[in-house]
Amino acid sequence: MKYDYLIVGAGLFGATIAHEALKKGKTVLVIDERGHIGGNVYTENVDGINVHVYGAHIFHTSSDKVWDYVNGFATFNGFINSPKADYHGERYDLPFNMNTFVKMWNDVTTPDQAKAKIASQTMGYTPENAKNLEEKAISLVGTDIYEKLIKGYTEKQWDRSCDKLPPFIIERLPLRFTFDNNYFNAKYQGIPVGGYTKMVENMLCGADVQLNISYNDVRGKVDFGKLIYTGTIDGYFGYSLGKLEYRTLRFETARLETNDFQGNAVVNYTDRETPFTRIIEHKHFEFGKQPFTIVTREYPEEYSFGKQPYYPVNDKKNADLYMKYRALADRERDVFFGGRLGSYGYFDMDKTIENALDLAGKIL
């Protein structure tokens, strides 16, 4: 049979396009080289705890359209992400807000005092003239917070020094002069009740899905009209222009016979010496009451073939190479790229869905 759409990758981008295509009466085959759907939002239920197998995913968006859309596939539980930071045993609230500032500085209790303290530590950098992540961070929060809560974490995460990274990465984190530990500025936030896998399953309802199968396995064997490709764009072109770099993560997961290991879903370890960046305690995403717990340590690593590419490396060298692949991609007929890997972009889940809906609007 001939499918209208072959979708490579059963993550949020692929699942959104699949759903939209099915709604229009198209036939859809979704393939994924992993043994499960959901891409990196995949959750696995272990004795009642939904484990975020590829790291913490907290859905957040300010888009009414995206929020309405995902609520068509899942009920969200109202979880608000408020990670803690651990710097050599000192504990701080994230994101950068009055709770952080009061703990950091003994002589700060008011927003004006916090602003004055930060202003005394910006080394002449301003958010507008900052050329890299280091300058941007110092211009926003001063040197004390940069040294304790940003520098070590960022250099572990990216294995690049902060003056070689683009400023926008640190803009992901809110900065507030109120006592508000919500990690996101989004209007809506939560975790799908029953896990992300169930949500993606609902999105894919009606599509043919084949797992443990790569695009190369089906190339020339499956007949289809249009191709949606959410794998790595450099991989699609056989790395003909060179390899894009990605960061990956190694996850170390353990089941512990205690009902509460750290009292919070996410604790970031922001010093340079601790080899992992965060510990996730999965049950807290869903207010779990189990007598045991499951925790995951995240160790950032450079990507190499056979590992999962999670984050595009947003430096100039890679951005330039991506643009060359993009030009090749634009010349392909009836092939559309999307998702973090297909677009080589550091997208959150809501942006991924929004991008997919935009594409669906154009091509369907």
Catalytic residue set: 172, 176, 247, 278, 298, 346, 348
DSSP assignment letter at 149: I
Q: Is 150 in the site for ligand UDP (CB under 6 A)?
A: yes
Please report how close the Cβ of residue 277 comes to ligand UDP at its closest, in angstroms: 8
Please report how close the Cβ of residue 345 comes to ligand UDP at its closest, in angstroms: 12
Q: End-to-end distance of the chain based on CA atoms, in angstroms?
A: 20
State which residue, 19 or 247, has the beta carbon closest to ligand UDP: 247
Token pair belonging to 105? 């500085």
Our CA angle for 8, 36, 2, nearest 5°, is: 35
Please report how close the Cβ of residue 152 comes to ligand UDP at its closest, in angstroms: 8
Element (H, E) at 197: helix 196-203
Number of residues interacting with ligand UDP: please give it, by CB under 6 A: 13
Residues 66-95, interacting with ligand UDP (CB under 6 A): 85, 94
Cα 299 to its chain centre, rounded Å, is 15
Q: Is 16 in the site for ligand UDP (CB under 6 A)?
A: no
Of 154, 181, 232, 293, the one binding ligand UDP (CB under 6 A) is: 154
| Radius of gyration over every alpha carbon of the chain, rounded to an integer in angstroms | 21
Q: Which of 75, 127, 339 is nearest to 228 (CA)?
A: 339
Please name every residue paired with 86 in a beta bridge, in sequence order, or none if there are none.
91, 269
Distance CA 345, CA 1 (A): 34
Residues 255-274, interacting with ligand UDP (CB under 6 A): 268, 270
Q: Is 149 in the site for ligand UDP (CB under 6 A)?
A: yes
State which residue, 173 or 218, has the beta carbon closest to ligand UDP: 173
Please report how close the Cβ of residue 86 comes to ligand UDP at its closest, in angstroms: 9
- Contact between 164 and 319 under an 8 Å Cβ cutoff? The reply is no
State which residue, 82 or 270, has the beta carbon closest to ligand UDP: 270
Could you count the other beta carbons within 10 Å of the beta carbon of residue 36?
A: 15
Which whole-number Å values give the CA distances from 195 to 43, 188, 271, in the listed order? 6, 17, 31
Please report how close the Cβ of residue 153 comes to ligand UDP at its closest, in angstroms: 4
Of 5, 153, 303, 337, the one binding ligand UDP (CB under 6 A) is: 153
Distance CA 192, CA 180 (A): 23
In the numeric block, the tokens 């809501």 are attached to 350
- What mask of x and - would describe binding to ligand UDP in positions 163 to 192, judged by CB under 6 A? ------xx-xx-------------------
State which residue, 139 or 270, has the beta carbon closest to ligand UDP: 270
Q: Which residues bind ligand UDP (CB under 6 A)?
A: 85, 94, 149-150, 153-154, 157, 169-170, 172-173, 268, 270
